[in-house]
Structure 1
């Protein structure tokens, strides 16, 4: 909770800081990488830095957190903090890194806002920063403790024991711990970070959902090649597709992620688009393995049947459930495909049972559209959960 003095100051300066937060985030990353170039090379996603999406996500989270503090002083935006903490844990972020961030963030604030940053203003926003940072540090400490590791000690060597070409641009890599030990437990929907060494020596990291259910004989990640050529946005997926084969070793983090299938017998809806199918397959396989009896509604959108990765598994697992239906939308369908399942996903003709818990994964415009449709059909906002591949721009998008 902010002090009364800080609340007054933050409320008064929030419009100015909010208007400049994008520029502040840009200057922050410039300063951070000038002082610590290894962070851009070996920790931060160079593709997201090149496109500016990481700056947008940072700006959105800062503005959302500060706004929440002044508008809801007795509450904390735990859902947002939990999502960030899981990402941080999968990267091995440690508490001391927050002090480094604070140094360069506040230098960027002073540089952008100039004389408006008085001692009083800096002290108030320092409260905001450490409320957010300490909440993340505490959550990350709990996540590390649950795995039985020290802060940041999340990386393990895994062997690729199988590779399956799912589509022209999607491959599944079957994995096992290189030391022959047991694969770590995870919950349906979680992901791992994968670090690869690129030709320029950078050790870039990306997150990939585990596309098999917990307890599967071989944990797997399914990777879509991002067509960026040699530009940073597709360098890791391109490396995995072009260079990684059976017998190779990968540096893989322990599993994390807050989009997880809840326990219980409530109706479930799994909505995905494109490669967003991967966490949904893990959830669907788990539901089939545990004999889930309540209705399960599976909806997916893709460019075409040929682009629909793991389509056979999607259909097969749905068929194993006692009360499940699958609905697929394609922009370019095969002959005979239903006309009302062509183009963008439209749930108006899909029955959504009362009490449904919905899980969404795909591009942000897709998820926002699906969420709107689900709300219109009576699904409670608290029962709609989502996963974003890459920086979470939901808040930044307004």
Structure 2
């Protein structure tokens, strides 16, 4: 909890900091990477840095955390913190790195705000930072302990067992531990980080949802090739599509992620768009094995049936459940596709059982639209869970 003195100072300065947070985060990253170029080369996502997405996400999380401290001092934004901590754990972030971030973040604040950063203001925002940082450090240490690894030591060598071309832009890779040891267990909906060495020597990292466990010592994940003008956009997905073949080695993290089923047996809505179907498939596989008794409504939106990766599995796994239905929307459907399922996802005609828990994964505009429709249908906000591939821009855009 923020001290009373700092609460008053943060409340008074939050509008000024919020108005300048974009400039602050931009300068922070420039100074950080100038002092530590290895972080941009081997840890941070260069594509997200180039697009500005990571700056937006950092700005949104800082503003949201500070606002929570002053407006609801007795609570903590644990959902946001948990999502960040899982991402950090999958990257192998350690406590000393928070000190590095602190140095450059507060240097940027002082430079951007100038004389407005009095000793009292600096002390108050320092308290905000360390409340957030120490909460994340504690959560990440707990996540490492749950995996039985020392802090940051999340990487293992895996061997590509097979590769499946799902669509023209999506490939599924099945991998096994290179040392023959047991594959770590994972919860449906979780992801792994994959690190590859690119031609310029950078070791870039991306996260991919586990789509299932084809065998006790085998895991699978699907990669959509990100197409765009210029580099480094899509550099890792393009590298994996062009170069990764059976027999190749790959550095993969332990599984992490907080978009996981709660095991309550409640009615479910599993909604996805594009490659966001991958964590949903893992959930469906688990539910079918468990014989989930409550209704499950599966919703997916895509450009066309040809673009719908793992479409057959999506439908087949839904069909294994005793009380489930699948509803696919396509912007460019094939002949005979229902007219009411053409275009973007529209839940208005779908009945949902009372107490439905919703899990969403896909582009942010899709998830915002589905969330709004669910709220209109009476689903509680606390029962709507989501996963973002890449920086979480939801808070940055609220």
Task: Please classify the TM superposition score into its range, dividing by the shorter chain length.
Answer: over 0.9
Q: Distance in 1 between matches of 2:206 and 2:228?
A: 15
Matched, 1:53 2:53: yes
Q: 2:158 — aligned with what? A: 158
Q: Distance in 2 between matches of 1:353 and 1:116?
A: 53
Comparing 204-213 with 271-280, which one deviates more in the overlay? 204-213
Give how far 1:325 is off: 0.2
| CA shift digits 1:199-223 (9 cap, x unpaired) | 0000000000001159766210100
Q: 1:296 — aligned with what? A: 296
Q: 1:144 — aligned with what? A: 144
Q: Which runs of 5+ in 2 are unaligned?
A: none
Q: 1:322 — aligned with what? A: 322
| CA shift digits 1:11-69 (9 cap, x unpaired) | 00000000000110000000000000000000000000000000000000000000000
Q: 2:66 — aligned with what? A: 66
Q: 2:380 — aligned with what? A: 380
The question of whether the paired residues in 1 share the 8 Å contact of 2:271 and 2:360 is answered with yes
Q: Distance in 1 between matches of 2:48 and 2:32?
A: 15
Q: Distance in 1 between matches of 2:128 and 2:390?
A: 25
Q: 2:3 — aligned with what? A: 3
The question of whether the paired residues in 2 share the 8 Å contact of 1:40 and 1:46 is answered with yes
Q: Distance in 2 between matches of 1:179 and 1:216?
A: 15
Q: 1:251 — aligned with what? A: 251
Q: Distance in 2 between matches of 1:153 and 1:393?
A: 28
> SS state of the match for residue 233, structure 1?
coil
Q: 2:182 — aligned with what? A: 182
Q: Distance in 1 between matches of 2:115 and 2:264?
A: 55
Give how far 1:340 is off: 0.6
Q: Distance in 2 between matches of 1:140 and 1:214?
A: 29
The question of whether the paired residues in 2 share the 8 Å contact of 1:187 and 1:214 is answered with no
| CA shift digits 1:314-346 (9 cap, x unpaired) | 111111110000000000000010111000100
Q: 1:94 — aligned with what? A: 94
Q: Distance in 1 between matches of 2:354 and 2:254?
A: 36
Give how far 1:91 is off: 0.1
Q: Distance in 2 between matches of 1:6 and 1:115?
A: 18
Q: 1:127 — aligned with what? A: 127
Q: 1:203 — aligned with what? A: 203
Paired positions, count: 398
Q: Distance in 2 between matches of 1:213 and 1:83?
A: 23
Q: 2:105 — aligned with what? A: 105
Give how far 1:293 is off: 1.0
> SS state of the match for residue 336, structure 1?
coil
TM-score when normalising by structure 2: 0.99
| CA shift digits 1:91-123 (9 cap, x unpaired) | 000000000000000000011000100111000
Tell me the C-alpha RMSD between the 2 structures: 1.0
Q: 1:115 — aligned with what? A: 115
Give how far 1:264 is off: 2.1
Give how far 1:351 is off: 1.1
Q: Distance in 2 between matches of 1:218 and 1:169?
A: 23
Q: Distance in 2 between matches of 1:35 and 1:26?
A: 15
Q: Distance in 2 between matches of 1:213 and 1:160?
A: 14
Q: Distance in 2 between matches of 1:262 and 1:212?
A: 18
Q: Distance in 1 between matches of 2:76 and 2:266?
A: 27
Q: 1:359 — aligned with what? A: 359
